[in-house]
Amino acid sequence: MSSVELKVPDIGGHENVDIIAVEIKVGDTVELEQTLITLETDKATMDVPADAAGVVKEVCVKVGDKISEGGVIAVIEASGSAAVASAPKTEDKPAAPAQVETPKSAVPAPQAASFSGSADAEYDVVVLGGGPGGYSAAFAVADEGLKVAIVEQYSTLGGVCLNVGCIPSKALLHNAAVIDEVKHLAANGIKYTAPEIDIDMLRGYKEKVIGKLTGGLAGMAKARKVDLIKGFGKFVGANHIEVALTESTQYEQATETGSKKTVAFKNCIIAVGSRVVNLPFIPKDPRIVDSTGALELRQIPEKMLIIGGGIIGLEMGTVYSTLGARLDVVEMMDGLMQGADRDLVKVWEKMNAHRFDNIMTKTKTVAVEAKEDGIYVTFEGEKAPAEPQRYDLVLVAAGRVPNGKLCDAEKAGVAVTELGFIEVDKQQRTNVPHIYAIGDVVGQPMLAHKAVHEGHVAAENCAGHKAFFDARVIPGVAYTDPEVAWVGVTEEIAKRDGIKITKSVFPWAASGRAIANGRDEGFTKLIFDAETGHIIGGGIVGTHAGDMIGEICLAIEMGCDAEDIGKTIHPHPTLGESIGMAAEVANGTCTDLPPQKKA
């Protein structure tokens, strides 16, 4: 045991900064990265985390004090092992699937434009963009009793997720899964003839699903008295957005009416999302589509290429393959579904091998030519065929780019990186304190549930509460068949970052429910911090994996260990039971498995 002074780290050159909250007291046990104090500069508030763990002996500051870099906050009695970084750090978010760090570009803050015109309407909060991040933020702000407007260029709320992303893809995947499931029943003596697919009706079903949800959102906006301003918004100053009003009857299609409206705001939340990456060498041709085009389900090709072996490409590939297409996939990295541990992906690969003619990993697409009889694609790399290959349909699913550069955020003084990301602090504030940013535009992972969570944080701050994005983990799910879901520290991350872990696995071959369902190929894996015993990650491959990963997320957030999870009574017989049983494996005895070898 030794005494350690916890000091203020580099806080960007700010001096004599106000302490607005002290989160510790003498006798507390402080964990690594736990917030000690909160500082407020004229630009933002920031939390100062502990860089060592131990028991607080002395607190050297109080609310109202001023402090600078190097100032002593507290003295703790640090225990050797506890002081070593072993748990996942919130900021690092090792948890996030396929996570890339938001580019830290040190973009210089631009000078805000001065706006001297008048406003047509004034709001407490204007939310720019009506996607899952934007509408969630706006509804939460309205629930706080503030006057709020959403500026959205298209006819419906819900953004990419509801209109051309999460929801339509799942509507199609559900139908594909039922078709596949019915095929499995043949082995149990229940035989159906091959399905007759009416593609127009299937498309209609998907549209109905979207309509139900977006209609519901419009109703909820009305009920909350949230103003919807249909148009494309651009900042004209630090407190004003000019909206070029649009007419739009369909998502991703809008024309400007020529009329403009200027709105003034006290606070603004930028939720402008992202768009698909266009590869420069790919020609325009109706047989080459992005995810939106693929969701339109214009045709079922005989031979389809997916450029990009990530979740979006593989989900769409699953749909097209079940409807009759043969698939090729090309991916520059050394494996599909990057971010998930390879043992999970291997199970998916085995179950899905029948869909693919070629899985070209470590391979690049270098040329695409549209000819009358098909799209000819040339590849380069480890698995590249020597000759260009012909396809009836090519899906480009090579990633998404943020929309930060399209809304003149710089005119409000907001710094935007070269790539179009907007950097924020843990309160979702940009470098301009009354302007927040959330969702895809602030960085990876570009997922709807991250956008919604960030939206709620920004909304609470707009309403004067003190809220932070301090989620430890963000789960990722591929809604393929079987589903692949993962969260927190993966084995790959642990290896890369030198985190000492223990893992426990429960194979679904021993799950009564999975066997009864005829789908026992999957497994559930839990990952624990080897020193503290706390759960820090997990992965599931199998049917409904995405519905189950939430329990592991909660366990991580609550700091559970294997005993907490294993001794929680899970209903039987369920697939969710496999999480409890994986924890029992970690505890040394799982009575649904053969006896484990004792070390």
Backbone angles phi, psi at 449, to 5 degrees: -70, -25
For 552, counting Cβ atoms within 10 Å of its Cβ (0-12 exposed, 13-18 middle, 19+ buried), the class is buried
Buried b / exposed e along 196-230 (16+ C-beta atoms within 10 A): eeeeeebbebbeebbeebbeebbeebeeeebbbbb
Q: Work out how close the CB of 24 gets to ligand FAD at its nearest, in angstroms, rounded to a whole number.
A: 35
Strands 35-40 and 45-49 turn out to be: antiparallel
Q: What residues pair up with 4 in beta bridges, in sequence order?
A: 76
Q: Which is nearer to ligand FAD, 71 or 317 (CB)?
A: 317
Q: Which is nearer to ligand FAD, 152 or 520 (CB)?
A: 152
Q: Which is nearer to ligand FAD, 146 or 161 (CB)?
A: 161
Annotated catalytic residue, options 434, 456, 534, 572: 572
Task: Let me know: does 520 contact 580? Beta carbons within 8 Å.
Answer: no
Strands (E), 153-252: 227-237, 240-250
465 is catalytic: no
CA distance 65 to 391: 68
Q: Which is nearer to ligand FAD, 439 or 542 (CB)?
A: 439
Q: Which is nearer to ligand FAD, 279 or 370 (CB)?
A: 279
CA distance 36 to 59: 10
Q: Work out how close the CB of 230 gets to ligand FAD at its nearest, in angstroms, rounded to a whole number.
A: 9
Q: Work out how close the CB of 252 gets to ligand FAD at its nearest, in angstroms, rounded to a whole number.
A: 8
Strands in 45-49's sheet, in edge-to-edge order, are 45-49, 35-40, 17-22, 66-67
Q: Which residues bind ligand FAD (CB under 6 A)?
A: 128-134, 151-154, 159-161, 165-166, 169, 232-233, 271-274, 291, 312, 403, 406-407, 439-440, 446-449, 451, 479
CA distance 493 to 94: 7
Strands 148-152 and 121-128 turn out to be: parallel
The helix (H) or strand (E) run that includes residue 345 is helix 342-352
Q: Which is nearer to ligand FAD, 71 or 233 (CB)?
A: 233
Q: Which is nearer to ligand FAD, 252 or 497 (CB)?
A: 252
Instruction: Tell me which residue of 474, 479, 404 sits closest to 165, measured CA to CA.
Output: 479
Which tokens belong to 525?
């894996």
Instruction: Tell me which residue of 275, 277, 330, 290 sits closest to 306, measured CA to CA.
Output: 330
CA distance 485 to 347: 12
Q: Work out how close the CB of 408 gets to ligand FAD at its nearest, in angstroms, rounded to a whole number.
A: 8
Q: Work out how close the CB of 128 gets to ligand FAD at its nearest, in angstroms, rounded to a whole number.
A: 6
Catalytically active residues are 572
